[in-house]
Amino acid sequence: MKDKIFHSIEGHTCGNPVRMIIKGAPKLKGNSMSDYRNYFIKNFDWIRTSLMFEPRGHDMMSGSILYPALNKKCDVGILFIETTGCLPMCGHGFIGTITFALEKKIIKPKRIGIVVAETPAGIVTAEYKKVGNKIKSVKFKNIESWLEIKNFQANLPEIGKVKFDVAYGGNFYAIFDPQEGFGSLNKMTAADVLRISPKVRDEINKLIKPIHPFNKNIKGVTHIMWTGKAKLKNSSSRNAVFYGKNAIDRSPCGTGTSARLAQLHAKGKLKIKEKFVHESILGTQFVGRVESEIIFNNKKAIIPSVEGWSVITGESKFIISKSDPFYKGFSII
């Protein structure tokens, strides 16, 4: 293999890293970004692991790769890459990608103020606010989100007999509201989240098998959301999302916020258009809303919106050589 060179824009969304690859992307086959995702996973996953894990990345790294949109209605195609895999959709990654691409003039939207992006999970529309040369915020309407399983009861490692909900917002989330057993996020440390979450997720996936009705490649609970009382006066709720092998989302989590909105609305705790300010473990915030109710696969669902901000921190050039014993990356955790 000849040396492969990748160029990226580096930054973060509300504290969670985003590495957007702008040069070096492999040619993919298919008729949609979902096809592209499947082809990438089968043939180029080493690119993801190389750019996300050490020594070029770290266990919390996430990013995206830009492609020309396959759908003519869209301005850009986005493939999401993380330590956890090649996700169908990533909310914080989406906000960061749109911000970086606009500020660097990599994409030119068909309509000022709006970007229509094709993702493996479907078409996602974003509205952005620009002040001078900077993107102040990005608000996106996410794909169909819904409450998949309500009040599932199980005896789980370290926390005992508890109830949780499973909701979809681009990925399947097990959502734990405050209760006896684990108490709430406010009684947990980051170390607790990292220790307990993988055990809980493994057990949950033995008990239930959620699967997307129209995309069989999206299946299983991949993310765990712990919730608690907000610390900031203008926040509605606090959360910590565990994903991958050893990662806690530093942002409030975009697809997680979408899943949370779907859960709360289905339980009658959040009205249409009602403002929901989601607080991260860092204290950063996303603003979420239930934009509308829909029927999806014969069940009630919502179209959620999520708004947040991102910052560019630098640019990078990576050289990947097969002579490097760690060209595929590594993790010691």
Active site residue 253: yes
Helix 33-43 and helix 45-52, axial crossing angle in degrees, nearest 10: 80
Q: How far apart are CA 63 and CA 9, in angstroms?
A: 10
- Label the pairing between strands 62-67 and 16-23: parallel
**Is 287:277 a contact under the CB 8 Å cutoff?**
yes
Active site residue 14: no
Long-range CB contact pairs, 132-135, < 8 A, 24+: 133/103, 134/103, 135/98, 135/99, 135/102, 135/103, 135/309, 135/310
What is the Cβ-side half-sphere exposure of residue 122, based on CA atoms within 13 angstroms? 16
Q: Residue 9: which residues within 8 A CB-CB, separation 6 or more? A: 19, 20, 22, 100, 104, 312, 314, 315
| Structure-token pair, residue 305 | 């919106």
The catalytically annotated residue of 14, 74, 86, 253 is 253
DSSP state for residue 330 in the 8-state scheme: B
The catalytically annotated residue of 14, 74, 86, 90 is 90
Active-site residue numbers? Answer: 90, 253
